[in-house]
Amino acid sequence: MKNLAWSKYKLLLVLVFLVLFQFIININTFYVSDPLIKMIQVISLWDNNWTTEGIIYPAFSFDPDFLLSPFNDGFIFKNNDRLIGNYPIAFTFLYSLFGFISFQYLPYLNVLFLFLFIHLLNKNKINTITIIYIILGTIVFPLLLDFSENGIFLVLGSYGYVNLWKAHIHNEKKHWILGNIFLGASLWFRLEGILFFATIQFTILIIEFSQKEFKFTKLLRFERYIIFLFILILFLLWNQYSYSHPLGTRYLATYSNSGKSFLTQLQLFLSMIFTYPRENGYSFGFFLLSPILFFALINSIKVSFQNRKIEFHTMVVSFFILLVGITSPNDGITLTGRYFLLSITPFAFILHEQFENLKAKKVFSYILITWNLLTSLIVLVIFYFTSVELRKIQAEVKKIESPIVVATNEFISSAFGLSLIEKKVICVRNKDLVPYFYEKLKVTSENEFQIVTVAKATKYIANEQDIFNELSKSSSQYGYQCQNEIKVGKIMSLQCKKIKTK
């Protein structure tokens, strides 16, 4: 009884640690890229009384074509005269229901999803040490830190997986139905839900064939897939109606613009599972962050045909990783294995069975565990120091007061965070947009604006000074005078005012 109580306390500490670390890094500072778009979508839906999911853009009258949007253009796009993000309406709608509380607290709701995930694993007799490792030693913990759909997606996908696994074993209708419902709901949050369901069904067919248990009449038992297909059809119809494409916003913003060669896709795959060199350095792939999972998978492949307990889980993980690897649109930044998130649950069952084998190889297990501790610590340290730098930038841009703020890159414009819902901040991404900006300025007759750029250019943003100089140089021909250049920390600003004519 004491051991059981201590195990529960350890799991409780994991939940507490998530919230505590969110406070330490001040998770609200991470509203600079996709978390910013997601939260702005939520606020926009709330403020628009759910009449439109179009992002509120204070500079819309100035820039109706959204060419100067302050948001990262990899995360937003124009659709049906709206500026929208590449995140499904289900996620936006769910969180907009909490608009009666301060939006800054919404990221902390991830602890509820983590609790449900831990509860699922614990209920299915995964030992405590495995659960702690799965949470703290994989992509789960970092993906649940900031504001995203990852928490609810993990929970829906995991509950769906466990029910379909039990349905395969016991062939009970309730498990087929629940598995279909949970995984059907998950695809409204991320498209990998479709791939995961297909992988599970394919695994079931392969096992039935190999064990000579396959019967055509089993395929006629519609509870195996009909609910999921119904939800999928609704999903496709909604997307076609709302966005003019059946796969919706995520496809339009990422997949549709990702034409790649076989070699490029292979590089992405290597980046996701381990790492791969690129211009901005190496990244943490799925197995580079969690090498014990790689060991467990290799070992389980060797014994899966003799160990029926992990045969199903091993096949699902193997097929899913390959399927995601050949279909993923990109590899992301830093944590490149995020597309494999749903594989974490079958990996939990595999690791649970393989822990004794791991313990038997003491030196090898120590090396793996030490490596895992170091990589996990590095990721958390990256989060911490990133938050320190972001807070500095955000403190600097908060001092800027102007009717229109003109940033020369999306990092600076997005540093204004949630105030973008009410502040006229635009981004001139390249020199070609400078004439467009001034033509719009002439139409709206603004009296002043302020240009903001980085004080010191780096190799990643080498064109900043060119854009800044072009904006400054062109101002006089459009009737503005720019002066009083000010440097504050990493930010340089220039005040521009309309030249008064006699």
Structural domain boundaries in the chain: 2-30+102-360
Q: Is the pTM of this model over 0.85?
A: yes
Residue 409: φ, ψ to 5°: -155, 165
- Mean pLDDT score, 251-274: 77
Cβ atoms within 10 Å of 321's Cβ, excluding its own: 21
- Mean pLDDT score, 479-491: 81
The answer to whether 56 touches 420, Cβ cutoff 8 Å, is: no
Confidence of residue 412 (pLDDT cuts 50, 70, 90): confident
- Mean pLDDT score, 383-408: 87
Residue 199's pLDDT is: 97
The Cα 218–Cα 317 span in angstroms is 24
Predicted confidence (pLDDT) per residue in 359-373, tens digit: 778 888 888 888 988
Share of the chain above pLDDT 70, in %: 92
- Please write down the HEC assignment for all residues of 124-179: CCCCHHHHHHHHHCCCHHHHCCCCCCHHHHHHHHHHHHHHHHHHHHHCCHHHHHHH
Residue 356's pLDDT is: 77
Predicted confidence (pLDDT) per residue in 225-244, tens digit: 999 999 999 999 998 988 88
Residue 481's pLDDT is: 86
Per-residue CA distances from 137 to 57, 143, 151, 372 (Å): 39, 12, 16, 6
Query: How would DSSP label each residue in 27-70?
Result: GGGGTTSHHHHHHHHHHHHHHTTTS--PPP-TTTTT-TT-TT-S
Residue 4's pLDDT is: 64
Average pLDDT, the chain: 86
- DSSP-derived 3-state class of residue 453: strand
- Mean pLDDT score, 446-471: 77
- Mean pLDDT score, 168-172: 89
Model confidence at 1: pLDDT above 60: no
Which residue, among 385, 437, 434, 412, has the nearest Cα to 491 in the 3D structure? Answer: 412
